[in-house]
Structure 1
Amino acid sequence: MLTALNHIRIVEQGTFITGPCAGMMLADLGADVIKIESPGNGDPYRSFKTGFYSAHFQAYNRNKRAIGLDLKNEQDRDVFYQLVAQADVYIQNFRPGAAGRFGADYETLARINPKLIYCSISGFGPDGPYAQRPVYDSVAQAVSGFLSVAIDPQQPRFIGPALADAITGIYAALGISAALVERGVTGKGKRIDISMIEAMMHFAVEPFMGYFALGEEPSGVDRPRLAQAFIVRCKDEKLFAFHLSSLDKFWDALVEAVDGQALAADDRFSQRLKRIDNYEALNAELNAIFATRNRSEWLERFDRFDVPFAPINNISEVVNDPQAQHLGMFVPVAGRIEGAEQTVRPAYSFDGKHASAVRAAPVVNQHGDQIRSALGSDPQKWPEMQPAAPAH
């Protein structure tokens, strides 16, 4: 593990993705994250696909310790409050008002620990006309406007991973990090509220600025057209991508790479603004050219020219990609009881060192006895209970 935050203790009471992702981002940086779950089956994401240790749960809950607590039970609630008293951060992603029903609202926890950073993650914010609506990733993508600039309007459908969930978790971790820095100056905790709609609207700031500055309604095809980004299908049906941006040198290099002198001579494509206006026609011409060779041949050929390009790799291809291998992106999962043996490491390097392993996501209540017994000890001794793996 990395150790940048190894002096920080976090109590996370999150389910599914947003709260657990925020906790994982900080755990990846060395924070001691204690995940509180209901006894029994725990976080519903454990059983998202099969069993009680789904790959989806493993993805967002590594590097954490777990304890099962029923906050309706007085003794378990006392344990929870002891944890909060010794914590730096508390994270929850309940619907607004839910935390107060079991004594985990900001006012209660701030009285217990005035230095606590309290992070509440929701779908639509703590109040307002949508506050009590149920919300999941796809809903947040849609209502925020993000989906309208991320899909082809002619073939609209949801694709890809849970972007709104994960992006909101990352924003929450960023806000928590900033609050911890401020607390280092003021000595005071504070409440952070972040919602999925706010995170995704901020994430889509560029199309919003296009709307405000130009009065234009952005769509999902604007960015690739303006950036001159193309996806083409090769003879072997594999996909190939390249991005010409605004520099003529990339267009010139592309023409040379594909022996496309006819493209250069075509008045529709003779200038960048014309290539933007005739994007669909140029896309069709390029697909016809790329259909004449297998992708491996195009990759070998493009390696000799100054064009930003890449194969559209599937996940198994990325695992074997030379650059991913060089960066040491895949590391072992330490202390695993079940589940994956390796995973993607945190993206950061500090002083040239990155994490060389991650700790496995916990099973339900895996560290419950350990955490309960530690509550009576010196809080400064707690990090010794979860030593970091060496970085390299």
Structure 2
Amino acid sequence: MHNPLEGILVIELGTVLTAPLAGMMLADLGARVIKVEHPNGGDPFRRHAGKLYSPHFASYNRNKESIQLDLQTESGRADLLALLARADVLLENYRPGVMTRLGLTQGTLDAVNPRLVWASITGFGAEGPYRDRPCYDAVALGLSGLASQMLEPVQPVMNGPTISDNITGMYAAYGILGALFGRQQSGKGARVEVNMLEASIAFSPEGFAQYTRLGVVPAPQTRVAISQSHAFACADGRLVAVHLSSVEKFWQAFVAVIERPDLLEDARFLDPQLRTRNYAALNDEVARSFRTRTRAQWCERLGASDVPFAPVNTVPEVMEDPQVVQAGTFYRSAHPEQGEMTAIHRPVVIDGARGPTTRPAPTLGEHDAAIRAEFGLG
């Protein structure tokens, strides 16, 4: 059970982020994922600051095999159909209409393999006024309302990791798993469609509930005020994050730790509702206290008082964090051409196991000969 998708074959026509992430998630659960790439450079993410094996590509394509097929040619499409005849899942993130132009319609795929689950990822869906527009992470963030809950309107600056791309890939993997389970009941394949806009909207339902039920239009500090989430700069310039909304004892312990008993009597902060309403004022009051000690000193005090807190770790600090080290989250793997690399285990443990032996992302066409021989391709 620790490799629940063992025996499932996925053919991935994925580029950049959304489909490659979904494919990697399936591979991490034991599926065999064959990534089909164009002979002229393969997945464009390969060339993103790293010749044909960028760190970006490597981080989204572990546990996969790579074969080169030119789907613009008749022979390339024939080879793809030969792979799909024995596959369980087809995963692609082409723009609407591309599969049809390649002659890969629902009827064609059904004729080749009626049990095939075809998962299609697009920017905005197969219909609608934005159907043919290009979509990337910033586009989906903006259109879905997520960006409005993160950007300060006076001085807007995009920050942080990829969000909409990753969300969409996760929802695609979720849909594929549901379709595979449904196939066990019906014996038939299914069409799974996911788009970046709707996936991004679904990822943040709370904001829409606030608006439709309470008339509140969420702003960047709406959620953090409700949850009483704060980040404070310490005397050494390093940051600490705290979360105080769960139970009243955390607020009381926090006030004791920072030695500000006056806050308990302050009319602006007497209960959670008042602290939410006066979030900015509370943040300013506490920020002054945090500048009196280093981050290490605050972490020791907060930890001793059972306050929900964490140091705001940088990426190098995450890799050295004792909890992360104990969990074995990161590991080293060796690639025959690229040498040793650091990677991340899947975050799901099943029956005490991390999953299949992890292989680094493939080089372009690394498995051409083996796959062609196994599937009898031209």
Length-normalised TM-score, structure 1: 0.93
With over 3 angstroms needed to count, the CA separation of the structure-2 counterparts of 1:26 and 1:59, relative to structure 1, is: same
Residue deviations 1:198-249 (CA, integer Å, cap 9, x gap) = 1001001111111111122111210111111111000001010000014211
Give, in whole Å, the separation in 2 of the partners of 1:298 and 1:58: 37
The amino acid across from 2:270 in the alignment is S
Q: Give the length in aligned residue pairs.
A: 377
- The question of whether the paired residues in 1 share the 8 Å contact of 2:234 and 2:291 is answered with yes
Give, in whole Å, the separation in 2 of the partners of 1:125 and 1:192: 11
- The question of whether the paired residues in 2 share the 8 Å contact of 1:332 and 1:357 is answered with no
Secondary structure (helix, strand or coil) at the match of 2:230 reads strand
Q: Which runs of 5+ in 2 are unaligned?
A: none
**Match in the other structure for 1:140:** 140
Q: Which runs of 5+ in 1 are unaligned?
A: 378-392
Give, in whole Å, the separation in 2 of the partners of 1:355 and 1:186: 28
Matched, 1:92 2:104: no
Matched, 1:104 2:104: yes
Give, in whole Å, the separation in 2 of the partners of 1:91 and 1:14: 7
The amino acid across from 1:175 in the alignment is G
Give, in whole Å, the separation in 2 of the partners of 1:357 and 1:285: 51
Q: Tell me the CA shift for residue 270 of structure 1.
A: 2.0
- The question of whether the paired residues in 2 share the 8 Å contact of 1:28 and 1:63 is answered with yes
**Match in the other structure for 2:212:** 212
Matched, 1:151 2:118: no
**Match in the other structure for 2:233:** 233
The amino acid across from 1:217 in the alignment is V
C-alpha RMSD over aligned residues: 1.6
- The question of whether the paired residues in 2 share the 8 Å contact of 1:153 and 1:219 is answered with no
Give, in whole Å, the separation in 2 of the partners of 1:336 and 1:325: 26
Residue deviations 1:113-133 (CA, integer Å, cap 9, x gap) = 110000110000011100000
Length-normalised TM-score, structure 2: 0.96
Matched, 1:71 2:71: yes
- The question of whether the paired residues in 1 share the 8 Å contact of 2:22 and 2:173 is answered with yes
Give, in whole Å, the separation in 2 of the partners of 1:292 and 1:24: 46
Secondary structure (helix, strand or coil) at the match of 2:70 reads coil
Residue deviations 1:290-316 (CA, integer Å, cap 9, x gap) = 000000110111111121000000110
Q: Tell me the CA shift for residue 335 of structure 1.
A: 3.8
Residues 1-392 of structure 1 mapped to structure 2, 5 A cutoff: 3-338=3-338, 341-355=341-355, 357-376=357-376
Secondary structure (helix, strand or coil) at the match of 2:216 reads coil
345-354 vs 263-272, which deviates more?
A: 263-272
With over 3 angstroms needed to count, the CA separation of the structure-2 counterparts of 1:371 and 1:139, relative to structure 1, is: same
Q: Tell me the CA shift for residue 2 of structure 1.
A: 5.4
Give the share of equivalent positions with the same residue, in percent.
44
Misfit runs of 4+, over 4 Å = none
- The question of whether the paired residues in 1 share the 8 Å contact of 2:30 and 2:356 is answered with no
316-325 vs 101-110, which deviates more?
A: 101-110
